Amino acid sequence: MAIFKGAGEGSGKGNEWGANKESGKEDESGVGKGDEFFMRACIELALIAKQRGDPPVGAVLVRDGQIIAKGMEGGKTHNDITYHAEVEAIRQATALLQRQDLSGCILYTTHEPCILCSYVIRHTKIDKIVMALTTGEIGGMSSRYPLLSDVSIKKWGPAPALITGVLEEECRKLH
């Protein structure tokens, strides 16, 4: 397992949607974009969730440099305790790809996945999780139940790479 601190992508300011002039690719799926671009997509979703009265959490799944699925927190809106942003993105991706193995995918999320989401993430073998904020006692990495990094469950295979701190300040402002 590797935990990296997100860094090296500039100040986090002025990196607007579609503002990747060098690549010339303005595709809103995010082809050719970096971690901050995808985290901004998560923030957009988190803001919608917040407007609906749900916790401000958003997540996207990226495969081959492209967003293939999106999710936003909806436990309150849908009266469903399992309606977490990460789970919704994973549901969308497994439906799209017609399989539960999401290896080769990267999950971006505004918040460290909770214990529930971490279980789903490990089952689907997502390669890498990029998050902004950590969530302490309910988190799948920083709590007493670090399912995201546990390698004792053989069928889960290797633990995903875990990156924290991408657009941390922007995500903190969601609250």
- Chain residues in the site for Zn ion (CB under 5 A): 84, 114, 116-117
Q: Is 9 a catalytic residue?
A: no
Question: Considering beta carbons, is residue 33 or 84 the nearer one to Zn ion?
Answer: 84
Q: Which of 108, 102, 2 is nearest to 46 (CA)?
A: 108
Shortest reach from residue 33's CB to Zn ion, in Å = 25
Shortest reach from residue 82's CB to Zn ion, in Å = 8
Residues in contact with 87: Cβ distance below 8 Å, sequence separation at least 6, in sequence order:
71, 116, 117, 120
Q: Can you name the residues that pair with 133 across neighbouring β-strands?
A: 111
Shortest reach from residue 150's CB to Zn ion, in Å = 16
Question: Considering beta carbons, is residue 54 or 170 the nearer one to Zn ion?
Answer: 54
Task: Point out the catalytic residue in the list 9, 26, 44, 86.
Answer: 86
List Cα–Cα distances, 10 to 38, 40, 88, 149, in angstroms: 15, 14, 30, 28
Long-range contacts of 98-106 (CB under 8 A, 24+ apart): 100/124, 101/125, 102/61, 102/63, 102/126, 103/127, 104/63, 104/64, 105/61, 105/62, 105/63, 105/68, 106/38, 106/61, 106/62, 106/63, 106/130
Q: What are the catalytic residues?
A: 86
